Amino acid sequence: MRKILHADCDCFYAAVEMRDNPALREIPLAIGGSAEGRGVIATCNYPARRYGIHSAMPTARALRLCPHLTLLPGDFERYREASRRIQAIFHELTPLVEPLSLDEAFLDVTAVTRFSGSATWMARWLKEECQRRVGITVSVGAAPSKFLAKIASDWEKPDGLTVIAPDRVGAFLEKLPVTKLHGVGPATAKRLKALDIDTCHDLQHLPQERLIQEFGKFGHRLFELARGIDNRPVRMERERKSVSVETTFATDLPGLPDCHGELASLFDRLESRLARHGHPPLAGLFVKVRFDDFSLTTMEGRGSRLCSRTFSALMAQAWARKKRPVRLLGVGVRLVPEDARRQLTLPL
């Protein structure tokens, strides 16, 4: 039986700002781009969340919800430094750390003998050390799998500590809403609701064959998650699956010719980013378009090399889905999985 921790810093960017300026702690605070520049909120503190503000919200809307919101631009060098110090604390506990972003990580503590092998005590130590040394509050979940540990870390935020012991997994899942399952978005939740499925307990009564019939491959994953089955190991290095760049425009692009006019700049930025990653082998290309009504569409195509004509064709297909002004454009590539790369380099 594995012991997995998921550690997640509470409102991380805002937490760094509040740590360095205590006057910001009790007022609504957000980190993001300006409303004039069509910015979005990267994160916000809990006083701001009481007004309905959340990450990825347009800054203009956030300011309408809370006119006295304090808005700061991100200082990512400071955030990266805080992240390095927090990650160092994680590695003091175990070398098996899988960073997910600057502010969260999975830790496999199965073989750790400190703290009498208690995952609960380890989680408490992590929280105390991150607060004492870095001044950042961390919520931690402990469970026998990554899936459950991630749910647990979010259970009592902020400053939470939730432990799902092996003998509590069944009871915990009985009441767990299916909307908490990874991959269940609004559309899937609506389809599950139509089948009278609200909790994992309800989901457990649906045969795997029926789930696969309804949801394809994801049906098998739903079958497993409803039973707490998640055998994914903690990986010390996460595999990068894609590389992309995007731009949000200060003024909407009115039509397709204007979108094509922005492609050259995006193409150059993507080429530079791939060079920094050592020109990994490509499995496909894609274009992302967000329209002025905030709807988002992505168009994908095959391709083993960067090709401006392919991006142009994908752009035209994506824009044709709505034929509306565009506020954001992105281009990117899907990468060949590492296992496949290794097979390509095996000697004959």
What are the residue numbers of the active site?
Answer: 104
Residue with tokens 């003091």: 92
The whole-angstrom separation of Cα 184 and Cα 219 is 11
Q: How do beta strands 97-101 and 282-291 pair?
A: unpaired
Among candidate residues 302, 285, 184, the one with its CA nearest the CA of residue 243: 285
Residues 199, 178 contacting (CB under 8 angstroms): yes
Which residues, in sequence order, are bridge partners of residue 41? 32
The whole-angstrom separation of Cα 76 and Cα 63 is 23
The whole-angstrom separation of Cα 336 and Cα 341 is 7
Q: Label residue 111 exposed, middle or buried (CB < 10 Å: 0-12, 13-18, 19+).
A: exposed
The whole-angstrom separation of Cα 195 and Cα 177 is 14
Among candidate residues 174, 123, 172, the one with its CA nearest the CA of residue 4: 123
Q: How do beta strands 41-44 and 4-9 pair?
A: unpaired
Residues 17, 29 contacting (CB under 8 angstroms): yes
Among candidate residues 339, 330, 337, 270, the one with its CA nearest the CA of residue 300: 330
Q: Label residue 17 exposed, middle or buried (CB < 10 Å: 0-12, 13-18, 19+).
A: buried
Among candidate residues 95, 45, 94, 37, the one with its CA nearest the CA of residue 70: 45
- Residue 195, CA atoms < 13 Å, CB-side half-sphere: 20
Residues 329, 289 contacting (CB under 8 angstroms): yes
